[in-house]
Amino acid sequence: MRAISRLLIAIGLAPIGLAPSWLGPLAGAPSLAQALAPVIGPNPEGKAIDPGTAMLQRSWNQLDAQLKALDALIPPDREAAPKVQNATPRLPTSLLTPNAAPRGALSPSQANPAPPLSLPTPIQLKGGGLVQGLSLEQSLALAFANSASLQAQREEVAVSLALLQAQLGTYWPRISAFASGTYGQEGATTTANQANNNLGFGPLFNPAPNGIVGSGPGPGGGINNIAGPFYVPSGGSVGLLTGTSSFSAGLSMDYALVDFARTPRIKSARAQLANARSTYANEVRKLQLQVSEAYYQLQKADQLVRIQDANVRSDLVILQDTLDLKQAGLVPRLDVLRRRSIEASNQENLIQALADRAVARRRLAVVLNLPPTINPSASDPIALQARWPLNLEQSLLAAYQDNPELQAILATRDALAQQKQATAAGLLPKLSLFASAGSGTSTALQSNYTIGGGGCCGSTALPDSTTNGWDWSIGLTINWLLFDAGTTSGEARALAKREAATIQRYAAQRNDIRLRLEEAFFNHEASLAKLASARRAVSASLEAFRDVKLRYLSGLSNELQLSNTKDQLINSLVNRLTATVNVNITYAQLLRELLPVSQDPNRAITPTLQLGSSSATN
């Protein structure tokens, strides 16, 4: 009983280290139906049982039968039910390892995220990871730097900017250079089907002896008759092989002078860029809320582990006192069994609290995109946020002003409207200017001449020739779609309907924003009010616990009254903790709707924890 004086310190909110050494010789309880045997009313003298006692006995029997029926619904355990005197089992190592105390503050080098396309290795996952502490501001800074979803949205902004720059280029002409070079060979044979001396072209086409008279010795008495140089006898032929090489180069320009779809496309690209920037700003708001909620929940999980640990420690103290009293014959066996059952139930709460804290640590690690070897721990103590400085009307008006969610929807609507105009402009004429200029050269080499039947066409054979040339052109083209079976108008109507749907989404998002803000506002006010009540409950529970502890030490109160008072104190501590964390969470939810953020993804983000503090502005 001397150890009970330490109970008040154990239940306090000061951190208490966890170690498996606190476990005492406790036992698990059997099933409820096994623990409660049928109760038979006393009748030592064998007298007839009065009707009231008989009714009470029947009620006991019915209760016992109901308990057995309920117990039968639970599948039987593979292991036999432990004995009441068995020691309390130790906490599982798989829970104690991720709940280890932090080894220090998280350094920047430890917070570098893993490569996006990598998977954790067995070595990285072995041992549960290193537990390192970090503050809420550090968590926000890491999330803004490491978040994969935020980085993906930054890339989307870059994509929209590149598409806008691509559309702006349509205001300028397109100039391109071209060049080509070829080489080929061609073989041909030309044959005269009849002689060409009957065309009346003069002696140059006549055969001998009516051709050109030449001087000199000859078989005709000194006169040599020569056929005309252009004479081709019937059946005369010539064959040759021609190799040709050519090269040409130049410049061409195409410029749309009148294009009714160009300006709407550019405006649509600008609207899509505005949509991407607004979506990025909204992602920053959402990410800050996710980090804040995960951090506050981790703080709550830490404190719940301390409270439940203190509760189990106090149970062990009271149980030891009850065992000592039972051994001295001052309390019945019922008190010991009841104490063991209470301690086992509270140990279940501690085990669940350890699991909740392990999950809360991993949830924060995922939001921060930490490497797989790091488990974060909350190093900031729980600090209550101030009351929200605005009333509900002011909060709603401020939430609607420059809201990135609504701005993104408006930008989408503008983009669809411009796309509709650009599509409809496909039915209008398009006037373009084109121009081109270039030069070229070609060389032909003829070889392998073959003459037959008296020859043919010698004057047209050029063994080696080169041709040089240049050209230029300029003109206008007009393209006017006259009929497409309603394809263009149908696409324009579809875009108009999408624009109308976007307007309805704006109305729905406006209502969602109001609902979110009102829910957070009312819960914030309720949490502040519940916190005041929880503080009064903790104060009264502490006084009641002190009184019942003195009565217990003086023998004026039993352990059941002490346990009930302790449970009330534990519940009041948990309620105060829950109300405190809910105040902070609802403040973060309200801040998410009004948080001023920059829409420039290249600008550094400053974590903002309170409304009106220094932050990045649009």
Q: What are phi and psi of 439, to 5 degrees?
A: -145, 160
Q: Quick one: how far is CA 162 from the chain centroid?
A: 22
Per-residue pLDDT tens digits for 81-98: 566 555 667 788 888 888
pLDDT score of 380: 95
Say which residue the tokens 């998977």 belong to.
119
pLDDT score of 77: 63
Q: Would you give the DSSP letter of residue 169?
A: G
Percentage above 90 pLDDT, the chain: 51
Q: Quick one: how far is CA 362 from the chain centroid?
A: 17
pLDDT score of 320: 86
Both structure tokens of 258:
């009148």
CA–CA distance, 39 with 34 (Å, rounded to integer): 13
Q: Quick one: how far is CA 291 from the chain centroid?
A: 14
pLDDT score of 16: 32
Q: Would you give the DSSP letter of residue 500?
A: H
Pairing of strands 430-452, 237-258: antiparallel
pLDDT score of 505: 95
pLDDT score of 385: 93
The dihedral over CA atoms of 484, 489, 491, 497, expressed in degrees to the nearest 10, equals -160
Q: Is 572 in a helix, a strand, or coil?
A: helix
pLDDT score of 209: 63
> Hey, which residues does 378 pair with through a beta bridge?
134
pLDDT score of 108: 87
Low-confidence ranges of the chain (pLDDT < 70): 1-52, 71, 76-88, 209-225, 457-461, 613-618
Cα angle 227-233-238, degrees, rounded to a multiple of 5:
105
Asked if 237 contacts 451 with a C-beta cutoff of 8 angstroms, the reply is yes
Q: What are phi and psi of 177, to 5 degrees?
A: -110, 145
pLDDT score of 200: 76
Say which residue the tokens 């049982």 belong to.
49
pLDDT score of 20: 34
